Every structure is written in structure tokens, then in C-alpha cells.
A and B are shown apart, each in its own frame.
Chain A
Amino acid sequence: MKSLRVIVSVGVAAIIVATLLVFHVVIGNFFNRILISFRGITDEKFSYEAFRELERSYALVVSSSSTSTQPAEQSLYIEASVFSRYPFNDRSLLTIAKGSQDGIVVGMPVFGSDRILIGQVRSVRRTQSEVQTIFDSEWRSGVAIGSLGIRAALHGGTSPKLELIAKDAPVAVGDIVTNISPLFPFRALIGTVASIEEKPASGATWQAATLVPYFDVGELQSVLIVKDFP
């Protein structure tokens, strides 16, 4: 009798673990939805006004960008659902449920939505790929700030920073930050300037600012991988 109980218990446990493995994408989506619904309730910063403001700034950049005449075609991208996140706090990496069999290759830029840069494919397996996001502490890329295109270096992290901004450059809170690194589409949106660090001392050459990206990496349910780039 006892051995029967053991066999049943081990069998049921094995079925549960096997189910987790087989339906991992469904489970990933399920967890992501729960995560987003939690954030929606608890994030005080999120409001409809903030959303509208982001929409306005996005429309402004798209209309002023030299490449904005090109329509946003879905076929430019491969859409992939976010499956899981790097499980610890020292990095910001994602696993997406598309891999080499879907045409993903290392280095492809990853967008959160049309023209909004969120990361880059770092490694690829047959059915999954790993994406390094701009929240990763190892992320470095060149960016331009505002309509004047002031040059800066984006340093990733839990709160990404804009560094190496010329000391006298007229950077203002709310300026839009776009990509100028050749590794990603030119003028892809990254975020806006959140705050400017105290003006540097007279001898200093650079100033720094903090960035608010358009996406919180925890909110991402799916991403768009840019095909055929560069």
C-alpha cells in the first residue's frame, strides 16, 4: 500500500514538472500577465496623463525623424513573447520564445514596440534567445538628446544613466533620447531625460543625467526583433 502511494506521488510530481517544461511559453505568458496586473495596481507613477505625454513625445520624434517616412510594417520585425527573466538582481536579461529556427541571430536589435529600442539579442538557441536590455549594468551605447542631438553615452542599470554629456550642453528634463549607435536603427527611441545631476564643478568636462525608458522591462510581454539589420 505504501509503495503504491510512493509510486503515485512520484508519478504526479513528475507529471507536474513535465507540464512546466512542455508548456513553458504558456506559463511564461501567464506569469507576465500576473506581473503586469500587479504593477498596474501598485505603480503610482503610472497614469493616463503620463501615457498621453509619452504618446505625444513619440509622435513628435517620429514626425521629425529623417527615417519616419518609412511606414512601420510588422514584417520588418519578428514578434516574440517574453518567456522568462534573468532570475537574480545583478543583470537585466530576458529569454524570448524565438530562436535560430525562427531566423534570430546574435546582434539583432530588439524593440519594445515599433521604433522603441529595448535591447539586443545576445545569444541564440534553437527555440529561445537571450536579450540584453538597456537596464543591464553592462549596457553601453551612444545616444543623442533632444532636437539638438546632444551626444551622450547611455550606461545601463536599474536606473539607466546618460553620461559624457558636454558640460555646457543645454539638456533639459523631458528631452527625448534616441539612438545613434550604428549597432541599432538610427534615431530609435530610448526614453526621456528624467533628471540632470548637479552641475559639475568648474574644472569638470562632462555632466550626467538619468533616463526614463519608455518601457519597464517587467512590463514586457512580447518584443519585436528587427530583421535584416543593418
Chain B
Amino acid sequence: MFNVRYAWLFVFFVLLLVVQYHRLVMFGGISPNFLLVAALLAVVSNMPRTVFSFFLAGALVFSFVYSGFWLLPIIVLLLLLLVVRFFFRSFTGTLFLDFCILVMVLTISFSAIMSLFFGTQFIIVSILYEALYNLAIGSIGWLLVRPKRFIVSPL
């Protein structure tokens, strides 16, 4: 049976995308990556793979219609997240530590891939700032969601 919470999670996910597209929250010209943080919370919360894939597909369709110019970075980010979801196993034994490492590694990898795609400079200082912002936002999200207690039933 379809879990009702998924519908509201999807709306929340889309609203985060909208905030991301308007770069509403910026610190010193650097904007946190809400999409990445929210998706990683879903990964460590053990959201069923099928639902997670539908979420990402929905986000892609929404991005295409809402602001279709930047599909390449969105596709790259969603693919990275999909790979992480499908191969995620706790590698430190502490879920929060896993989450922190994933946030740092994915932020840096995503920026590195994009700079390769666009041929732009890879400015490590601003990327590290972004990673720290993501970590701060993720920690707040962690306190709100409490992933260990977030049990979802399969489709």
C-alpha cells in the first residue's frame, strides 16, 4: 500500500528544489545545496530504493518544466545520489558519521565533475565553504528527521 507520507515528502522535496533555484539562502555568495542534503537524509533513512528513484525522476521532470536550462548539473547530481542510494552501506557503524562523510565527499565530487564538464575552475576554498554549509544544514535536518526513527513501509 502506498504510504501517504511520500506525497508530502515529495512536495517538501520540490519546495526545496524551488528554494535552490532561487538561491534564497546565501552566505557570503555561497548557497548550500539543499537538494543534496535532503536526498542524503533520505539515503541514510533507508528510504526504499524504488520510492527514492521515483523522487529523483520526479525532481528531474519538475526541473525540466520549471527551469529547463540546467538539466545537465541536475542529472549529474541525481545520478550521483542514485548511485549512493543503491550502494549505500554503513561504513563507519555510526549513521551520523556516514552522513557527514557523504555530504563532504558528494559536495566535492559534484563540484569536481561540474568543473570538468564546463571546463571551469575548481576553486577548492569556496567548495569547502559550501561543504561546511551543507554539513550545518544537514545537521539541523538530522535533528528534525532523526533518521533512525524514520521508518517507512515499502510500496
Contact = CB atoms under 8 A, between A and B. Distances in A.
B69 A128 contact: yes
B143 interface: no
Contacts of A86: 70, 73
B24 interface: yes
Contacts of B111: 88-90
A20 B118 contact: no
Contact of A84 (B21, B35, B127): B21
Contacts of B80: none
A21 B130 contact: no
B16 to A, nearest CB: 11
Contacts, number: 104
Contacts of A128: 67-69
Interface in B4-55: 4, 7-8, 10-11, 14-15, 17-24, 26, 29-31, 33, 35
A86 B31 CA distance: 11
Interface stretch (A27-35, A54-62, A72-80, A200-208): A27-35
Interface residues on A, range: 35 or more
Contact of A87 (B14, B21, B126): B21
B62 interface: yes
Interface stretch (A8-16, A170-178, A191-199): A8-16
A60 to B, nearest CB: 29
A130 B14 CA distance: 22
B109 interface: no
Interface string A1-43: 0100110011011001100110010011001101100100000
Contact of B10 (A13, A31, A130, A218): A13
A189 to B, nearest CB: 22
A125 to B, nearest CB: 7
A17 B67 contact: no
Interface centre among A10, A87, A128, A137 (most CB of B within 10 A): A87
A93 interface: yes
B67 A83 contact: yes
A95 interface: yes
Contacts of B31: 87-89
A17 B69 contact: no
A140 interface: no
B138 to A, nearest CB: 16
Interface centre among B30, B65, B74, B110 (most CB of A within 10 A): B65
Given A17-B10, A95-B69, 14 more contacts: A2-B1, A6-B7, A9-B4, A27-B18, A28-B22, A32-B22, A35-B24, A84-B66, A85-B23, A87-B31, A87-B70, A88-B73, A89-B126, A89-B127
- Please give me the 4 A-B residue pairs with the lowest Cβ-Cβ distance, nearest first: A31-B22, A13-B7, A84-B21, A130-B69
Interface of A: 2, 5-6, 9-10, 12-13, 16-17, 20-21, 24, 27-28, 31-32, 34-35, 38, 83-91, 93, 95, 123, 125, 128, 130, 137-138, 158, 218
